[in-house]
C-alpha cells in the first residue's frame, strides 16, 4: 500500500530529524530538505501529500503549484506570517498550526529573557570572560522580578503560561488582548485588563505574545515606546515585525527604557550589523524560544495527528485550522 509522503522544508540536524521520525505514523513516509535552495524545495514537494513547514523562508503559491497532490500545509508552531495564506485559500489547501504545543517552552524562554535583561546577563558574562569583574558596578543597573508589574500583550496559550510563571515571582500581572477571555479566566490567572496604551504606561515589563498580522505590524511603535517607564524593559518572543525595530533601538540607545530581551527580528535570520547587536542593555536569542529537543516529539505528534485527520477526511480542530 502506497504511503502518504510528507515533505519537510525545514533543515534540521540529525538528532532533531530522528526525534520527528520517531513519531511518524506507519502510513506516512518523510523526506527532509538538505538546504533552503528553492529548486530543492520545489522538487521535494512535487509528489508530496503534506508539507511540514517551520520557516523562516517563505512558502508561496509557487511551492503550492508545484505540489499537485498537496492536502495540507502543516505549520510547526503557531506563526503563519511566512505562509502565503491567500494563495493557499485560493487553491483550496488547508493550513494548520499546532496550537498550544510549545506554549510552556516559549513562556519559560520569556521569563528567562526577563531575568537576563534585568541583570544584563550577557553584558556581565562578556566582561567577565574579558577579565573585568563587575560585581559592584552591576548592582547599579540590576533589578529583581519580585514586585514588578508585568504587562502581557496577547493572552493566548503562551500569554496565559507566562502569567502563571511570573506570578510565582510575586509579580502583578496586567494584560491587553483584543478579545477578552472573560472574568473567570482573569480571576483564575490573577490578571487585570488594561487598554494597550495604559498597559504600556503602567507595566515595568512589557512582553509580547501576538501573531504578526496587518493590525499588529509595528504595534509597538515610537509613540507606544514613549509611554513606557524609564526603568522598564520590553521582551519580544512573538514576531519581530510587531515592534518598530528602529524606534526600539532609539529608545534603548537614549536610555528611554532600561533594556530589551529579543528573540525575534524584523529580518530573519538577523544579519551582522543589526544595531541591536551593539547595545549592552539588550539580551538576544535567534528565534529559539520554542526550540527545545525534549518538546520535539510532542509537536511532531500534533503535526502528524492533523495530517492523519486530513487523510481520513476528518475535520481539523478550530484551534489548529488557520483561516486565510
Q: Given 194, 209, 224, 287, which residue is catalytic?
A: 287
How far apart CA 10 and CA 231 sit, in angstroms, is: 39
Q: Given 109, 209, 224, 239, which residue is catalytic?
A: 239
Active site residue 268: yes
How far apart CA 160 and CA 271 sit, in angstroms, is: 32
CB of 191 within 8 A of CB of 218? no
Say whether 131 sits in a helix, a strand or coil. Answer: coil
How far apart CA 67 and CA 49 sit, in angstroms, is: 8
Active site residue 10: no
Cβ neighbors of 283 (< 8 A, separation 6 or more) are 113, 116, 117, 120, 121, 122, 259, 260, 261, 262
CB of 163 within 8 A of CB of 190? yes
CA distance readout (Å), 266 to 36, 82, 244, 296 = 20, 12, 8, 26
The grid coordinates of residue 119 equal: 541583570
Q: Given 10, 21, 186, 268, which residue is catalytic?
A: 268
CA distance readout (Å), 94 to 91, 249, 320, 322 = 9, 38, 10, 7
What does residue 114 show for φ and ψ, rounded to 5 degrees?
-60, -50
CB of 169 within 8 A of CB of 149? no
Active site residue 287: yes
Which strand ranges, in their side-by-side order, compose the sheet holding 259-262?
191-193, 172-176, 149-153, 205-208, 233-236, 259-262, 282-284
Positions marked catalytic: 239, 268, 287
Amino acid at each position: 500500500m502506497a504511503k502518504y509522503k510528507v515533505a519537510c522544508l525545514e533543515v534540521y540536524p540529525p538528532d532533531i530529524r530522528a526525534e520527528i521520525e520517531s513519531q511518524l505514523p506507519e502510513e506516512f513516509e518523510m523526506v527532509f530538505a538538505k538546504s533552503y535552495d528553492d529548486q530543492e524545495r520545489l522538487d521535494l514537494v512535487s509528489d508530496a501529500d503534506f508539507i511540514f513547514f517551520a520557516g523562516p523562508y517563505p512558502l508561496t503559491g509557487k511551492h503550492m503549484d508545484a505540489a499537485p497532490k498537496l492536502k495540507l500545509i502543516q505549520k510547526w508552531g503557531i506563526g503563519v506570517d511566512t505562509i502565503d495564506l491567500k494563495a493557499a485559500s485560493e487553491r483550496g489547501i488547508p493550513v494548520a498550526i499546532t496550537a498550544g504545543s510549545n506554549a510552556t517552552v516559549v513562556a519559560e524562554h520569556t521569563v528567562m529573557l526577563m531575568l537576563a535583561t534585568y541583570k544584563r546577563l550577557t553584558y556581565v558574562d562578556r566582561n567577565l570572560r574579558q577579565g573585568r569583574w563587575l560585581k559592584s558596578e552591576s548592582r547599579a543597573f540590576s533589578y529583581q522580578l519580585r514586585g514588578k508589574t508585568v504587562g502581557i500583550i496577547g493572552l493566548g496559550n503562551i500569554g496565559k503560561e507566562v502569567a502563571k510563571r511570573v506570578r510565582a515571582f510575586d509579580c502583578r500581572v496586567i494584560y491587553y488582548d483584543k478579545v477578552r477571555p472573560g472574568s473567570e479566566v482573569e480571576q483564575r490567572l490573577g490578571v487585570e485588563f488594561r487598554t494597550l496604551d495604559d498597559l504600556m504606561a503602567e507595566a515595568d515589563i512589557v512582553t509580547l505574545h501576538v501573531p504578526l498580522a496587518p493590525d499588529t505590524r509595528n504595534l509597538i511603535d515610537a509613540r507606544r515606546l514613549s509611554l513606557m517607564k524609564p526603568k522598564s524593559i520590553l521582551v519580544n518572543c512573538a514576531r519581530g515585525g510587531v515592534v518598530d525595530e528602529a524606534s526600539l533601538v532609539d529608545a534603548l540607545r537614549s536610555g528611554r527604557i532600561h533594556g530589551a530581551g529579543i528573540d525575534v527580528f524584523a529580518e530573519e535570520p538577523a544579519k551582522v550589523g543589526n544595531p541591536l547587536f551593539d547595545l549592552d542593555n539588550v539580551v538576544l536569542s535567534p528565534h529559539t524560544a520554542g526550540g527545545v529537543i525534549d518538546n520535539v516529539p510532542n509537536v511532531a505528534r500534533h503535526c502528524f495527528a492533523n495530517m492523519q485527520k486530513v487523510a481520513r477526511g476528518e475535520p481539523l480542530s478550530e484551534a489548529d485550522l488557520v483561516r486565510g
